[in-house]
Structure 1
Amino acid sequence: MENGTMPSYFYFTLFKDFFHLRYFLVIVTLSVYFSILLFNVIILYVVFKERRLHEPMYILISCLSVNDLFGSTGFFPRLIIDILSNTNVISRSACFVQIYIIYTYAISEYTILSLMAYDRYVAICNPLKYHKTMTSKVITLYIVIASLYAMFSMGLAIFFSARLPLCGTDIARLYCSNWSVVRLSCGVSTSTNNIMGFLVTTTTVFLPALFILYTYVKILIICQKSSKEFRGKALQTCLPHIVSFVNYSIASFCDIALSRYDSDKYKIAGIVFSVEFLVLPAVFNPLIYGLNLPEIRKHILCLFRRSKIAHFPCK
């Protein structure tokens, strides 16, 4: 088919294979979504309620929770609707809105993790300059720049994708993705889209990942030259971030690798990996930081009136 059109709707083709399990899937999906909401809202409440937590590291942790809530809200409500639907139709505009939300979340996740790595780098490698370097104004400026770049880069990518004439309407995923729309194009070259995708991926995934690895190599070198007590404190604050970074990197890599590979033989695995980068970070990030950072853990215990059995006082 050489002459493409601009279809008004897209059709998700995966849901029909699991229609007989739709009520079970709705229960599982709602459980996961409510868990994400609960865990991240608790982190946000504790950080903003306690003035002693109004420091760069905890502010960035709260930004991570806000971003996880943003990405999850762009995915789960629509997923529940599609599970219960008989047609699994999504309008063109809603599809591109979903792409924008999910991929802006994905880009922001890496930029926030990069800022957190820089915060730990300054705190451990240049502790005397930390309070001058990492001020509230500086952190706010970094967050604003990172957010604006994520919104601009994804807006530009969607602009090029939305102009493509399409020869199909079937999307073999649980949600709209940029590549799933681009691959439906016909009659025109997609080289511009490929170049744009490469630039966005390089600047928002690979460069931040390299920067994070660089900061932790520097931190490791400093720790090797320091006392055992210093290494223990550094590890305590860095370990949650390292776990978050590794978890998100693996999840996002699986999505990128599988987004261009279709196989009915591995359909279940493909579905799981395609949503892993949306689900795992949003569930595990608040648990990782809530359980591993003493200040947050202490205030969470106080929040649930369990301070009497905790080893940390409320005040």
Structure 2
Amino acid sequence: MVNSTHISYFILGAYFETGGFKYLFFLIVMCLYVCIIGANVLLIVVICVNRSLHEPMYLFLCSLFVNELYGSTGLFPFLLLQILSDIHTVSAPLCFLQIVCIYSYASIQFCNLAVMSYDRYLAICFPLQYNTYMTSKKASFLIAVSWLYPFITIWIMVSLTLSLQLCGNTINEVYCDNFSIVKLACSDTTVNNVYGLIATFFLIMFPVSLTFISYMRILRVCFSGSKQTRQKAVSTCTPHLASLLNFSFGGFFQILQSRFDMSSVPNMLRILLSLYFLTCQPLFTPVLYGLKMSKIRSICKRVLCGEV
């Protein structure tokens, strides 16, 4: 038995020999990363430089786009290096740093979406009192909590993993995963498993539940309101719900894959699904909001055409 601090590297066992296709895969992933960076940076700049967008709803969107950049940076440079490399290893400190980055990205995403659903609930159900309930100070506080709370929770989780004694260093993933490392432990992992379940509930299930409660109340108001109210609800809530469902699909599959035996699933399909919420969501979100929200769409057109 060796302590995890004595392990200098981990082996990523999910990679397979691609031969000459690795350069094609590298080019595809690189193009995807460039598109993600460009789309999210464009919308962040649009929101920051236009005073008409300095409203709580757009501040929450800006937080969402920043988180997409953060999560992408935690995966794509690492993934690009691994595609070109013949030896798929990662140093232990970098592995744990990637766990913190990816796990906190996913948790912040769910918290951001919950906060945004609450904001839409206030705007649609209490339109006259909205500016009183959702001030800039309150919006900033909610954004800060959405970032700090996941970071603290994830750091505790990783600290518990660092204290384990490990019997191996091979992870059957294409990136570092906390539970995959916990499964390598020779020592008792009861505390890790219990804390992992509690953290999953408060970082994922709780925000998702709050999101759906907010939308249930929005729907109730829409059915009893005017046609204008229903149109406003549909135009502002559709991107949020689509983003939540898309991200939840990828995130929950990864949780199931790490917790249960998925050997019956083809390896290539398992890899693609494990990467789905980390690769498609950062591009899906800015495209969805950029196309759906007319105010952002019109300003983006002006910026791209050189009018601003």
Tell me if TM exceeds 0.5. yes
Q: Which amino acid aligns with 2:211?
A: I
| Structure 1 unaligned blocks of 5 or more | 308-313
Q: Name the SS for the 1:61 alignment partner.
A: helix
Q: How many residues align?
A: 305
CA distance in 2, matches of 1:278, 1:265: 20
> How far apart, in 1, do the equivalents of 2:290 and 2:181 lie?
38
Q: Give the % identical residues.
A: 35
The Cα shift of 1:280 comes to: 1.8
Report matched runs for 1:174-193 at 5 Å: 174-186=174-186, 188-193=187-192
Query: Which residue number corresponds to residue 198 of structure 2?
Result: 199
Letter in structure 1 aligned against 2:257: L
1:40 equivalent in structure 2: 40
Determine the structure 2 residue equivalent to 1:242.
241
* C-alpha distance after superposition, 1:219-274 (max 9, x if no partner): 00000111112211121011111111111111111111112334275101110111
Partner of 1:112: 112
One-letter amino acid matched to 1:94: L
**Partner letter of residue 278 of structure 1?**
L
Moved more, 116-125 or 79-88: 79-88
- The equivalent of 1:75 in structure 2 is 75
C-alpha contact (below 8 Å) 2:124/2:229 kept by paired residues = no
Residue by residue, what CA displacement relative to the aligned partner does 1:74-111 show, whole Å, maximum 9, x if unpaired? 00001111111121111110000000000000000000
Question: What secondary structure, in the 3-state scheme, does the structure 2 residue paired with 1:263 have?
Answer: coil
Task: List per-residue Cα deviations over 1:9-51 (Å, max 9, x = no partner).
Answer: 1011222433442111100110110110011011101111110
Q: Aligned partners of 2:152, 2:239: CA distance in 1, in Å? A: 29
Partner of 1:268: 268
- In the TM superposition, residue 142 of structure 1 has moved relative to its aligned partner by 1.0
Equivalent pair of 2:110/2:207 in contact (CA under 8 Å): yes
Question: What amino acid sits opposite 2:32 in the alignment?
Answer: V
CA distance in 2, matches of 1:184, 1:61: 39
Partner secondary structure for residue 90 of structure 2: strand
3-state DSSP of counterpart to 2:11 = strand
Deviation, structure 1 residue 123: 0.4
Secondary structure at the counterpart of residue 173 of structure 2: coil
In 2, Cα distance between the equivalents of 1:239 and 1:107? Answer: 21
Contact 2:3 2:163 in 1 (8 A): no
Relative to structure 2, which stretch is displaced further, 270-279 or 105-114? Answer: 270-279
Secondary structure class of the residue paired with 1:83: helix
What amino acid maps onto 2:297 in structure 1? R
Aligned partner of 1:258 in structure 2 is 257
Give the match for residue 139 of structure 2. Answer: 139
1:17 to 2:17 alignment: yes
Distance 1:227 1:264 in 2: 51
Q: Over the residues paired in the alignment, what is the CA RMSD in angstroms?
A: 1.4
Q: Does 1:222 align with 2:221?
A: yes
Task: Name the aligned partner's letter for residue 152 of structure 2.
Answer: F
In structure 2, the residue matched to 1:125 is 125
> Separation in 1 of the partners of 2:256 and 2:168?
23
Q: 1:44 touches 1:62 (CA, 8 Å); kept in 2?
A: yes
Over residues 137-174 of structure 1, what are the superposed CA-to-partner deviations in whole Å (9 max), with x where a residue is unaligned?
A: 11111111221111100000000001111111111111
The one-letter code of the counterpart of 1:249 is S
What is the match of residue 55 of structure 2?
55
TM-score where L is the length of structure 1: 0.94
Could you tell me which residue of structure 1 aligns to residue 286 of structure 2?
A: 286
Judge conservation of contact 1:8–1:92 (CA < 8 Å) in 2.
Answer: yes
Taking the aligned partners of 2:219 and 2:277, their CA distance within structure 1 comes to 27
Q: What TM-score results when the alignment is normalised by the length of structure 2?
A: 0.96
Question: 2:96 corresponds to which residue?
Answer: 96
Q: Which runs of 5+ in 2 are unaligned?
A: none
What letter corresponds to residue 221 of structure 2 in structure 1?
I
CA displacement, residues 58-89 of structure 1 (integer Å, 9 cap, x when unaligned): 11111101000000000000111111112111
| Change over 3 Å in CA distance of 1:96–1:11 after alignment to 2 | same
Aligned-partner Cα distance in 2 for 1:263–1:19: 24
Query: 1: distance between equivalents of 2:45 and 2:256?
Result: 36
The letter for the 2-side match of 1:225 is S
**Does the CA contact (< 8 Å) of 1:43 and 1:286 recur in 2?**
yes
> CA deviation digits over 1:163-202, x for unaligned, max 9?
111111111111001011111111x111100011001100
Contact 1:255 1:276 in 2 (8 A): no
